[in-house]
């Protein structure tokens, strides 16, 4: 069975080698990204719950220490904001946005390579088909020049062998592109979620007179109403 598959693919010519290499690289990068983009490595739930408890209680030093001991992407973003806790809201949001852009860049690692493989794989397949067709028609021309009638069976055989590379290139490109889009959507979802969490946390880091939730923190009962 394996021997038959190898014999079939080998008819595609030497361009089957780079197509095969592309498939192996794409598969490896996909699994690497799936491992790195686990929720526990991006937005760990238990860490977030404990951290927000410290932030809401104003214990920023404890929260900052928690971020330093956690290597998730969210921890890096919140740590940047906690270093400026008590400062102006604009400053806190600016440093958190910069940290968020940096972390998103890390999350998109190898994404461009996966997209490139999805693009060049069918082109390699097309190149293999074109070179194969050139070889087939050169053979036909040589036979005609020698006065030998063209063999339709041999011509058809050469054409389908040339088309193998196109089929192989598309076989690699289609799942690779789907993997690229899946990882991209996963990063987008995490990015939106981290933005929402960061904005929520930032409101507890700014001075109370700048926070829209300050009324909930400091509001005292209306004595006149109770009377």
Is the pLDDT score of 22 beyond 60? yes
Q: Taking residues 97-116, what's their average pLDDT? A: 95
> Per-residue pLDDT for 219 more than 60?
no
Would 221 be classed as within a structural domain? no
Is there a domain that residue 219 lies in?
Answer: no
128 near 10, Cβ under 8 Å? no
pTM of the model: 0.81
Residue 222 pLDDT exceeds 70: no
Which residues contact residue 162 at a Cβ distance below 8 angstroms, ignoring those fewer than 6 apart?
128, 129, 131, 132, 133, 135, 136
d(CA 58, CA 204): 7
DSSP 3-state of 22: helix
pLDDT band at 224 (very low <50, low <70, confident <90, very high): very low
Q: What are phi and psi of 205, to 5 degrees?
A: -90, -25
Q: Give the pLDDT of residue 214.
A: 46
**Number of domain units in the chain:** 1
Q: Are 201 and 78 in contact (CB under 8 A)?
A: yes
Give me the pLDDT at residue 8, please: 67
Residue 4 in any domain: the answer is: no
Q: Which residue has the higher pLDDT, 147 or 97?
A: 97
**Is residue 218 a part of any domain in this protein?**
no
Give a yes or no: residue 7 inside a domain.
no
Q: What is the pLDDT of residue 226?
A: 39
**Domain contains 5:** no
Q: Which domain, by its residues, includes 86?
A: 14-210
Q: Which tops the pLDDT comparison, 60 or 138?
A: 60
Q: For residues 201 and 214, what is the distance between their CA atoms, to the nearest angstrom? A: 13
pLDDT, tens only, 157-180: 777 777 889 999 999 999 999 999
Dihedral angle of Cα 139, 145, 146, 151, to the nearest 10 degrees: 50
């Amino acid at each position: 069975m394996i021997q038959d598959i190898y014999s079939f693919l080998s008819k595609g010519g030497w361009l089957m080698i780079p197509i095969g290499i592309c498939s192996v690289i794409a598969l490896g990068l996909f699994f690497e990204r799936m491992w790195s983009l686990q929720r526990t490595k991006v937005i760990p739930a238990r860490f977030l719950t404990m951290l927000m408890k410290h932030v809401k209680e104003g214990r920023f030093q404890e929260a900052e220490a928690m971020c330093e001991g956690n290597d998730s992407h969210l921890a890096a973003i919140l740590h940047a904001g906690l270093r400026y806790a008590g400062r102006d809201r604009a400053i806190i949001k600016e440093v958190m946005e910069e940290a968020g852009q940096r972390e998103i860049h890390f999350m998109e690692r190898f994404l461009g390579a996966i997209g490139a493989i999805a693009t060049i794989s069918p082109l390699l397949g097309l190149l293999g088909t074109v070179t194969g067709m050139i070889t087939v028609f050169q053979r036909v021309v040589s036979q005609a020049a020698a006065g030998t009638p063209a063999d339709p069976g041999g011509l058809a055989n050469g054409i389908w062998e040339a088309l193998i590379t196109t089929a192989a290139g598309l076989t690699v490109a289609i799942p690779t592109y789907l993997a690229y889009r899946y990882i991209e959507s996963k990063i987008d979802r995490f990015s939106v979620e981290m933005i929402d969490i960061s904005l929520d946390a930032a409101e507890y880091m700014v001075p109370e007179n700048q926070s829209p939730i300050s009324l909930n923190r400091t509001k005292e009962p209306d004595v006149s109403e109770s009377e």
